[in-house]
Amino acid sequence: MRLTLEIIRSQQALEALRPEWDALHARCDAKAFFNDHRAVMLNWARHREARSNSLHIVTMRQSGELVFAAPMIQQRDRIGTSTLKWLTSLTPLYDDVLIAPEADVDVIAGQFARHVRSIPFARKLKASIVREDSSLNAILSGMGPVDSSEHPALEADLTGYADRDAYFASKPAKSRKRFRLYFNRLSQIGETKFNLIGADSDLKPEISWIFDVKRDWALERSGDKGWISQPETEQWFQSFSEELTQKSKVLTLTCGDKRVVSALFFIHQDTLFGSKIAYDPEFSHASPGLLLMVELCRVAIDLGMRRVDIMTGDSSWKRRFATFSVPINSYRLSLDPWRLHGKKWV
């Protein structure tokens, strides 16, 4: 397979690539969802203000057709060397590449490795949240050592359930009893109901509530809000949800005029991605995480999804609903910073 490699270095060139990028993205599996062209553009908006950052998107073509795209940046340091990093949202979303289903992964991996090792004064390549079953992991796994996170991606397999009632009936009698108990406990306070909010409604206030609660939770837990405190973080999710209106939804449980728990999620192909979940501590006695996850899985079935990706992070209620897990890897690969066009500096 003869491949032509090209590096996208300007925003204009990246924008012009969108029709081909979208066509390739549509052919990839659901795991590549966050490599949507609109997400990549929003990611670059978070990185481009730093003068040390420049686009370095590796693309490959076969017979003129785009078959591979790796969204990266090159970050230069003060000593004249640089680090290649994945072009991320600066939040815990999956790092991945786009690769055509018929492409030879080994050939692409070899050409990718030769390219990054030939970049003058590039000393490292970093990718942080890489699913072990992803195309990116297949590309990087032969280049050097890998570190695995203690918190894997958790998923619930919903295949085999005819409808939401069949899913609920499959739960142990004790779990069904607990769900009804907690729901009725809330109902004694005020009218309690689930609300699915989608493209026909404004998601902005719902997303803002989720981030307000998560910021308070992070501050109380660690005294440091970290990445969640940055206004650009919420703005990224607000903008992403606006760009992908048909794929973005919020599920919320209300009691009277108060939100109990809410989840921002995205749907793509056969997968529901549970992105951000937050609950009001006032209602912690009613196990809001359990209530939400039961309904989220039932909503996924209603929407024709066959999998709920609960994504990274750890909690007892996430583990309770997951039917399997996928290891999350990170790569810190050393490159040769003194190589220039295949020759050593002496």
Sheet of 328-334, strands arranged across: 53-55, 72-76, 82-86, 122-131, 328-334, 147-148
Average pLDDT over residues 256-263: 97
Question: Tell me: the pLDDT tens digits for 12-24?
Answer: 999 999 999 999 9
- Please report, in angstroms and rounded to a whole number, the separation of the first and last CA atoms in the chain: 36
Identify which has the larger pLDDT, 252 or 346. 252
Average pLDDT over residues 104-131: 95
Using the Cα atoms of residue 95, residue 97, residue 98 and residue 100 in order, give the sign of their dihedral: negative
pTM of this structure: 0.92
Identify which has the larger pLDDT, 316 or 148. 148
pLDDT exceeds 50 at position 58: yes
* pLDDT given for residue 346 in this prediction: 26
pLDDT exceeds 80 at position 314: no
* pLDDT given for residue 224 in this prediction: 62
Residues 6+ apart with CB under 8 A from 30: 268, 269, 270, 271, 307, 309
* pLDDT given for residue 223 in this prediction: 65
User: What integer best gives the mean pLDDT of the chain?
Assistant: 93
pLDDT exceeds 80 at position 225: no
Any idea which of 28-42, 155-169, 280-294, 302-316 has the lowest mean pLDDT?
Answer: 302-316
* pLDDT given for residue 340 in this prediction: 42
* pLDDT given for residue 342 in this prediction: 43
Long-range residue pairs from 310-316, CB within 8 A, at least 24 positions apart, any chain: 310/153, 310/154, 310/155, 310/156, 310/274, 311/92, 311/93, 311/94, 311/153, 311/154, 311/273, 311/274, 311/275, 312/92, 312/129, 312/149, 312/151, 312/152, 312/153, 313/92, 313/151, 314/150, 314/151, 315/289
Question: Tell me: the pLDDT tens digits for 201-223?
Answer: 999 999 999 999 998 887 777 66
Residue 180 CB coordination number (10 Å)? 10
Pairing of strands 57-62, 53-55: unpaired
Contact between 315 and 277 (Cβ < 8 Å):
no
pLDDT exceeds 90 at position 288: yes
Helix (H, G, I), strand (E, B) or coil at 261: strand
Contact between 139 and 112 (Cβ < 8 Å):
yes
Contact between 42 and 89 (Cβ < 8 Å):
yes
pLDDT exceeds 50 at position 332: yes
Average pLDDT over residues 115-144: 95
pLDDT exceeds 70 at position 73: yes
Residue 331: its H or E element: strand 328-334
Q: 328: closest CA among 134, 142, 140?
A: 134
Average pLDDT over residues 84-102: 96
